[in-house]
Chain A
Amino acid sequence: MRICAQATEAELTQALADFGAIPQVEDVRSPEEGLVMLRGRIGGDGAAFNAGEATVTRAVIRLEDGTLGYSYLLGRSRTKARLAAIIDALGQNEDRRAQLRTCLIEPVTQRRSAETKARNEETAATRVNFFTVVRGED
């Protein structure tokens, strides 16, 4: 489920295209937009408080074999929510999970780590290296 949250809609579409034959899919809960109230912690580590809401889209599908697939994703893409639910259902089967590894998990993880590396390097370039200027005698 984390990989679907990190993937783009295009990546999920591509993954399912690469996956090959997919069992028939029935919508148990059609993709639906809603809200989740995001919480923070007072002082970063104290008691919880409500910081504000975020749009979230969810979907539940069922494969022919009865496997249910769920998704809850930030944003308002119904297409993405449905794709993610299908992938969640497929991933519950050992063989299909191996297949998902090559067509989804690896490409997304690669893109993410390249992006993270670039961002970390850009950020690191703005790191302040303090030095002390000695003043006066001694």
Chain B
Amino acid sequence: MKPPAISPAFHDVSRQSQAVFRAIMQAMAQPGRTGLLDTGFETPAPLAPGAAAILLTLADFETPLWLDATLSASPATTDYLRFHTGASLVSDPQSAAFALIADAERAPPLTAFSQGTPDYPDRSTTLVFQVGSLDGQDWRLAGPGIKGETVFGVSPLPAGFMQQLQENNACAPLGVDVLFASQTRIAAIPRSTRIMEAR
């Protein structure tokens, strides 16, 4: 009757999730700037602690969660997320409040996810990319929360991702917001950010 062994997540839920929430908020407020995530816990592979911390903080039973093929093929991961967040796992990316992508190179296009509606642009999907590095210098970012321009880059990512982000920005206020999580760090590119190739 009981699910198999599930490893513990936050040991002090309210404080730790507040700290992670703060990190997410800072990342969204200052696109392209990286912040630290509280990740003092283990996660079942292929789920990484950084991305897990974000979902443990944001997802709950009212936020349908979409997982990419790599993650959904791991019962340990789906059990872990279902147990700790209470979120229902959905196969239709359009109905997801959050999406978690572990195999970033094979991520579906951003337009596969909910873009929100003109009355409720906040109803779009928030994507979390589990990536290796946040220290690239491929892009220049500009827009709200950025003084002038900032240089930023993520790897790995699918080919042509910058163009996808540009198109996403062009649709604002509709469109998705994208969070990137390495093992322990976070950065974001919300739909309001303009992206250009680095000089």
Using CB atoms and an 8 Å cutoff, list the residues of chain A in contact with chain B: 26-30, 32, 60, 62, 66-68, 92
Is the C-beta of B5 less than 8 angstroms from some C-beta in chain A?
yes
Task: Pick from A27, A66, A67, A92: contact of B8, CB below 8 A.
Answer: A27
A-B contact list, 21 entries, CB within 8 Å: A26-B8, A27-B8, A27-B11, A28-B6, A28-B7, A29-B8, A30-B8, A30-B11, A30-B12, A30-B13, A32-B13, A32-B14, A60-B83, A62-B5, A66-B5, A67-B2, A68-B2, A68-B3, A68-B5, A68-B6, A92-B2
CB-defined contacts of A26 to chain B, threshold 8 Å: 8
Q: Which residues in chain B, 1-29, are within 8 Å of chain A measured between CB atoms?
A: 2-3, 5-14
The yes or no answer to B84 lying at the interface (CB within 8 A) is yes
Interface residues in B, total, Cβ within 8 A: 14
A60 to B8, CA, bound (A): 9
Question: Once bound together, how far apart are the Cα atoms of A27 and B41, in whole Å?
Answer: 13
A68 to B7 Cα, complex, angstroms: 11
CA–CA, A67 and B3, complex, Å: 10
**Cβ–Cβ < 8 Å partners of B6 in chain A:** 28, 68
A1 and B89 alpha carbons, distance in the complex (Å):
27
Interface SS, B side: loop
Q: With both chains docked as a complex, state the minimum distance between the C-beta of A134 and any C-beta of chain B, in angstroms.
A: 63
Chain B residue contacts of A28, Cβ below 8 A: 6-8
Docked complex Cα distance between A72 and B13 (Å):
16
Are B9 and A29 touching (Cβ within 8 A)? yes
- In the bound complex, residues from chain B placing their C-beta under 8 Å from that of A32 are 13-14
Cβ of B9: which chain A residues have Cβ within 8 Å of it?
29
Alpha-carbon distance A27/B2, docked complex (angstroms): 16
0/1 interface trace, chain B 148-187, chain A, CB 8 Å (1 if under): 0000000000000000000000000000000000000000
Q: Which residues of B contact A68 (CB under 8 A)?
A: 2-3, 5-6
User: Which B residues are CB-close (under 8 A) to A66?
Assistant: 5
| CB closest residue in chain A, given B7 | A28
Q: Which residues of B contact A30 (CB under 8 A)?
A: 8, 10-13
Pick from A27, A62, A92 the residue with the most CB of B within 10 Å: A62
Hey, which chain A residues are within 8 Å of B2, CB to CB? 67-68, 92
A residues in contact with B11, CB < 8 Å: 27, 30
Instruction: Write the nearest CB–CB distance from A80 to chain B, whole angstroms.
Output: 17
Interface string of B64-94 (1 = CB under 8 A from A): 0000000000000000000110000000000
Please indicate the chain B residues that have their CB under 8 angstroms from the CB of A29 in the complex: 8-9, 83-84
- List chain A residues, Cβ under 8 A from B8: 26-30
CA–CA, A28 and B13, complex, Å = 12
CA–CA, A14 to B131, complex, Å?
50
Q: Which 10 A-B pairs have the closest CB atoms?
A: A68-B2, A28-B8, A32-B13, A30-B11, A28-B6, A66-B5, A30-B13, A27-B8, A30-B12, A29-B8
CB of A54 to closest CB in B, whole Å: 16
Distance to closest chain A CB from B6 (angstroms): 6
Kindly state the separation between the CA atoms of A29 and B12 in the bound complex, as whole angstroms: 9
B5, B8, B84: residue with the most chain A Cβ atoms closer than 10 Å: B8
